[in-house]
Structure 1
Amino acid sequence: MKNEFINLTPDNLAAEHLCCIIRSKKLHPGVEAKRQWLVDRLNEGHVFRKLNAKATVFIEYAPLKTAWVPIVGDNYYYIYCLWVLGEYKGKGYGKALMEYCIADAKEKGKSGICMLGSKKQKNWLSNQEFANKYGFEVVDTTDDGYELLALSFDGTTPEFTKNTKIHKIEKKELTVYYSMQCPFIYQKINEIKQYCETNNIPLSLVKVDTLEKAKELPCVFNNWGTFYKGEFVTVNLLDVNAIEKILKK
């Protein structure tokens, strides 16, 4: 199975598909935005390992120090995504990807690996029950049920930043913080803009385009964070139905 996987590198990045949205002959703006985001990230030790096929089978992780999330900790890896979908489920690919990450972390002398979770599984977060099978445990929490999961090799643990637990902002309109880490984000941002413009709904979009901005965010964040009436709502990417439910609150 080892030979079935490939890691993205600066040399092959332009030619390889990015798994979440299978690349066709026509360039997809979300995929290309993600590809551009990866240009600098790969030089920071960011790892994108995927099945060498047109499939959604991949893991994406990075040194926590340079991961665009409001989480801190010495010498950790952070897993952004681990996905195996469709016909590829149940064939051991998820196991192989997780074991690769763990072996890589140990080989590089990391203190452990962490990822974002919640008491109730969120649609846009990797399966935390799967992570629990490898010994990931809750090491930090927020008042609204988000959890930081970690697999520690040396007893040390990462933690959410202090700002993360504020979960409040001054803006009262629908507000979305986002980065281009996920290829679906470009599409979702355009959907939200169009819906809000059509319905005269005040909207504030805050692009998280530096590591510093990501580390200082006032909410948990994997690549997206939504606020309404000054209160944090979700890390889930939004569609029109989700927006309508939020606005009714």
Structure 2
Amino acid sequence: MTDFVNLTADNLETEHLCCIIRTKTKHPGVEAKRKWLAERLKEGHVFRKLDVKGTVFIEYAPLEKAWVPVEGENYLYLYCLWVLGEYRGKGYAKELLEYAIHDAKAKGKSGICMLGAKKQKAWLSDQDFAKKYGFVPVDTTESGYELLALSFDGTYPHFGAQAKAEKMESQDLTIYYDMQCPFVCQTVEKLREYCDENQIQADFVEVDTLEKAKHLPCVFQNWAVFYKGKFETVNLLDVKALQKLLK
């Protein structure tokens, strides 16, 4: 039997958090994630991982408590399903997703939903894999993002009205972020430094409450970028990608 571990208040400080980051010393992004998770686990958030120091995990939460501008009743929201490197092709993604589906049914949920896009995005879980299990698009935005859902009872969630607006008054570079992803902390630091050095007006907005997340003016997983009043992407940006966007 495959050894999987669910994060709990008791093991959160010692378990590897399954992203690509590898370091023997404490990493600011990983520690920020631990702090964020400590509160989320109390709300029914599930982080299940293979018992290895690798990238093999699934992460989901009750939709009502999920930090995304998606509305619906009695659903689970699937944030992440990742299997990378030497662990691919061994059926781990199948085991993890089937665990989540079984968990949803055992808890009497109406279904599971996740963020997708008409064209697969680099920072989104593999939607083609999810569609093999019956996930289908149930809502969409003008920019091509989709809400995928696996319904058990014929009901469906939807994006919040404000999330579909995808516009804001400010013309400045605006980045919304939270600390769910271990890569966010240093990404914000590097982009903020670049903007300061190049006198680029930028607003970095930390989404630090559920209410803020539920009322964002765009789709959001843990990161969202606006420029010149228009929503651009949920993909994390490095300096090169930011330079391309600003041009």
Q: Is 1:148 matched with 2:143?
A: no
Query: What pairs with 1:1-249 in structure 2 (closer than 5 Å)?
Result: 1-2=1-2, 4-248=3-247
How far apart, in 2, do the equivalents of 1:168 and 1:75 lie? 29
1:232 and 1:109 mapped to 2: Cα distance?
A: 36
One-letter amino acid matched to 1:108: K
- Give the match's secondary structure for 1:135: coil
Deviations 1:64-102 (A, max 9, x none): 000000001110000000000001000000000000000
What is the letter of the counterpart of residue 217 of structure 1? L
Task: State how far apart, in whole Å, the 2-side matches of 1:22 and 1:29 are.
Answer: 11
State which drifts further: 231-240 or 23-32. Answer: 23-32
What one-letter code is carried by the residue in structure 2 that aligns with 1:119?
A: K
1:161-205 CA-to-partner distances (Å, cap 9, x unmatched) read 000011111111110000101000001101101111111111100
Give, in whole Å, the separation in 2 of the partners of 1:77 and 1:167: 24
Q: Which amino acid aligns with 2:152?
A: F
Percent of aligned positions with the same letter in both sequences? 68
Which segments of 5 or more consecutive residues in structure 1 lack a partner in the other structure? none
What is the SS of the residue equivalent to 1:226?
Answer: strand
TM-score, normalisation: structure 1: 0.98
> Shift of residue 25 of structure 1?
2.6
Deviation at 1:42, TM superposition (A): 0.2
Q: Which runs of 5+ in 2 are unaligned?
A: none
Q: Distance in 2 between matches of 1:207 and 1:5?
A: 32
CA RMSD of aligned residues (A): 0.8
Aligned length: 247
Residues 114-162 of structure 1 show CA distances to partners (whole Å, capped at 9, x for unaligned) of: 0000000001000000000000000000011000000000000000000
Q: Measure, in 2, the Cα distance between the counterparts of 1:73 and 1:247.
A: 36
TM-score (norm 2): 0.99
